[in-house]
Amino acid sequence: MLKRTPELEEILRNVHPHYGRNESYRAFVVTTQSCDLVLRGGKPKARYITIAGARPLTLAVTREVEACQGELEQKAKVCKQGHQARLLEKVCSL
């Protein structure tokens, strides 16, 4: 996992502006199709990498709660108990 640093932010601004300007991505995971970043003869086997942004779980839970709420519930910062099963299912799937 890569943590957000000034050096990484500079790279992200150039190659992946969405991640670079959105500070809710606090860390990043580097993956490859072959799951192989081991150096062999000075070069990794993987020809391409993918970077995936990681955000706080609280952000996902907050968005899911907001999707269940009506306008009045959002103002009161409450959620009907009837949505508990849906929210619990979502959190467990994450």
Q: How far is C-alpha 33 from the chain's CA centre?
A: 19
User: Same domain, yes or no, for 12 and 46?
Assistant: yes
Position 63, amino acid: R
pTM of the full structure: 0.60
pLDDT above 80 (res 71): yes
pLDDT above 80 (res 34): no
User: Same domain, yes or no, for 62 and 82?
Assistant: yes
User: Same domain, yes or no, for 4 and 24?
Assistant: yes
Give the per-residue pLDDT at 1: 83
Give the Cα separation of 62 and 74 in Å (integer): 11
Range of the domain at 86: 56-94
pLDDT tens by residue, 79-89: 888 888 888 88
Number of domains in the chain: 2
Structure tokens at 37: 């970043």
Give the per-residue pLDDT at 82: 87
User: Same domain, yes or no, for 23 and 67?
Assistant: no
User: Same domain, yes or no, for 73 and 31?
Assistant: no
Position 32, amino acid: T
User: Same domain, yes or no, for 42 and 83?
Assistant: no
User: Same domain, yes or no, for 50 and 76?
Assistant: no
Give the Cα separation of 50 and 76 in Å (integer): 41
Structure tokens at 79: 């959620």
Mean pLDDT within 57-84: 87
What single DSSP character describes residue 82? G
